[in-house]
């Protein structure tokens, strides 16, 4: 394999990491370390969000560190994200509210985030960080995706955007923890490595590529795979090629999956090292750690539907996230261990990412995370009880970034993908058909009606919260130049 093929892409990122490393070394003698392993009071919270991590890539093979750590705690294996892209999903996880209620989303009949910025989190919305700060916690967010700064980062007492690889970002988190561990703290870290551009290290990418029965890729081909292929040749770009995939695109998909898998291994290794450092600081016995993702990633699993629906205004098909409500985007991991976490291992009962904030508040022993009363099931989260299964719970997802107002409603094993008006796009039985290939809307008219009725109730319940504004105010030209540059670095924009 070509050595360090992504070097031109990550050069600035690496330079920043080296400068920060030097800065930490120079300032450490001047910054008092305040480890508090024997501190009395409520436990600390380390919350790690991993952008774009699919649930089916969390396993003993790909993520052995996460697998081992969660074995002593809790691993919810059937978690539904409330939206298929970063801002509304993270906002829901940290507020317990569906996107229409917290407001951090795109609006309009046809959404296109390349041209239209999203709304920010509604002022005054209670986040987990604000809840903990009111109970004496020091709070900090260190994040590598600028969309976290659309109202979420600002709810932490300290927050920093750093476009760094996971190891370097976690180094910054350790430095902050070292200086704040004399009181209860909440440190949120948003790792972005599985998100485009995907640029894993050689030692993890090499084995993934070697496992493929393909001719070895060159440096330029690998650099193109930091995104989705060669923009100059449609047949070699996964989002621009036709369907069925031509042979060149099938090669591109196999290589892109290998690059993605390597970034997942990169995240797992970094989290293992991070956990060891917390233990060396003496914080392992009084810290609750929770790791989750906001959404997954599509590698043309539903390319046929993408070409048939043809609703993405970018004219790309079947890749990435933000454009559909299939399980490759909505099925996300959520693993927790440490103080207060029930040692129950894997929990297969369906839960929502809306449950994260109220569940963590309960495990920390801080009293309830107050949420408004929902007019119907699925609008707000609730503490996820490992010993009280609810197989018929209603789970909702909305807030596309690209395309029309397509939503999903699930009850038990049944899931309906539809336009918000109720027009069905697909009905699936996830137990029998986890990859959503067998549309049952004509074979199961009664089940379709039940889910459409739930969708109608949902539409009425959130109408006042949404306001039905035609679009967000203004365009990207109204945003700060630095914000636009940071988002362009992540592949957003034209």
Q: What tens digit of pLDDT does each residue of 255-294 get? A: 999 999 999 999 999 999 999 999 999 998 899 999 999 9
Q: How far does CA 350 lie from the centroid of its chain?
A: 18
Query: With the CA atoms of 82, 88, 90 and 91 taken in that order, what torsion angle do they form, in degrees rounded to the nearest 10?
Result: -110
Cβ neighbours of 429 (radius 10 Å): 17
| Alpha-carbon gap, residue 465 to 349, rounded angstroms | 29
| Alpha-carbon gap, residue 210 to 78, rounded angstroms | 32
Q: Using the 8-state DSSP alphabet, how is residue 235 labeled? A: G
Stretches in the chain below the pLDDT threshold 50: 465, 467-471, 494
Residue 334 phi, psi (nearest 5): -155, 110
CA angle (300 as vertex; 92, 314 as ends), nearest 5 = 70
User: pTM of the prediction?
Assistant: 0.95
Domain covering 7-395+470-489 assigned CATH 3.40.720.10 in the classification:
yes
| Alpha-carbon gap, residue 193 to 200, rounded angstroms | 8
Q: So where are the chain's domains? A: 7-395+470-489
Give bridge partners of residue 190 from the DSSP assignment.
49, 143
Give residue 483's pLDDT: 86
| Backbone φ/ψ region at 209: left (φ over 0), alpha (ψ -120 to 50), beta | alpha
Give residue 387's pLDDT: 62
Give residue 484's pLDDT: 83
pLDDT, one tens digit per residue, over 189-208 is 999 999 999 999 999 999 99
* C-beta contacts of 238-244 below 8 A and 24+ residues apart: 238/299, 238/300, 238/318, 238/319, 239/314, 239/316, 239/317, 239/318, 239/319, 239/320, 240/315, 240/316, 240/317, 242/307, 243/303, 243/304, 243/306, 243/307, 243/317, 243/318, 244/303, 244/304
Is 286 buried (19+), middle (13-18) or exposed (0-12) by CB count in 10 A?
buried
């Amino acid at each position: 394999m070509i050595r360090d093929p992504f070097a031109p892409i990550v050069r600035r990122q690496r330079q920043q990491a080296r400068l920060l490393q030097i800065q930490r070394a120079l300032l450490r003698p001047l910054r008092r370390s305040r480890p508090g392993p024997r501190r009395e009071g409520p436990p600390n919270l380390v919350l790690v969000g991993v952008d774009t991590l699919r649930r089916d890539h969390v396993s003993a093979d790909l993520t052995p560190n996460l697998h081992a750590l969660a074995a002593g705690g809790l691993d919810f294996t059937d978690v539904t994200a409330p939206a298929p892209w970063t801002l509304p999903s993270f906002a829901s996880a940290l507020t317990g509210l569906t996107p229409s209620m917290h407001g951090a989303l795109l609006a309009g009949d046809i959404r296109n985030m390349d041209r239209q910025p999203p709304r920010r989190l509604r002022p005054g919305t209670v986040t987990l960080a604000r809840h903990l700060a009111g109970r004496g916690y020091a709070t900090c967010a260190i994040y590598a995706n600028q969309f976290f700064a659309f109202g979420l980062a600002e709810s932490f007492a300290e927050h920093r955007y750093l476009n760094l690889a996971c190891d370097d970002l976690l180094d910054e988190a350790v430095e902050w923890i070292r200086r704040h561990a004399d009181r209860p703290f909440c440190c949120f870290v948003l790792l972005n490595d599985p998100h485009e551009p995907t640029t894993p290290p050689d030692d993890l990418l090499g084995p993934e590529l070697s496992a493929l029965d393909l001719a070895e890729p060159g440096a330029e081909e690998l650099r193109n795979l930091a995104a989705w292929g060669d923009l100059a040749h449609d047949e070699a770009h996964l989002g621009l090629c036709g369907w069925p995939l031509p042979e060149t695109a099938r090669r591109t998909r196999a290589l892109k999956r290998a690059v993605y898998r390597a970034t997942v291994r990169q995240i797992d290794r970094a989290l293992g090292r991070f956990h060891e450092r917390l233990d060396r600081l003496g914080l392992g016995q009084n810290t609750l750690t929770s790791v989750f993702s906001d959404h997954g990633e599509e590698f043309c699993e539903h390319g046929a539907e993408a070409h048939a629906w043809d609703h993405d205004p970018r004219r790309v098909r079947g890749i990435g996230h933000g454009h559909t409500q299939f399980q490759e985007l909505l099925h996300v991991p959520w693993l927790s261990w440490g103080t207060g976490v029930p040692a129950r291992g894997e929990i297969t009962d369906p839960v929502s990412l809306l449950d994260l904030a109220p569940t963590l508040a309960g495990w920390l022993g801080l009293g309830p995370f107050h949420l408004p009363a929902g007019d119907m099931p699925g609008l707000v989260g609730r503490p996820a009880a490992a010993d009280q299964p609810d197989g018929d719970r209603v789970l909702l997802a909305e807030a596309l970034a690209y395309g029309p107002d397509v939503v999903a409603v699930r009850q038990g094993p049944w899931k309906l993908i539809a336009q918000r008006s109720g027009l069905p796009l697909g009905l699936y039985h996830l137990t029998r058909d986890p990859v959503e290939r067998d549309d049952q809307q004509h074979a199961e008219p009664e089940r379709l009606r039940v889910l459409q009725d739930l969708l109608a109730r949902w539409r009425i319940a959130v109408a006042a919260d949404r306001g039905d504004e035609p679009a967000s105010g203004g365009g990207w030209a109204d945003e700060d130049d630095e914000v636009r540059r940071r988002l362009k670095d992540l592949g957003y924009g034209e």
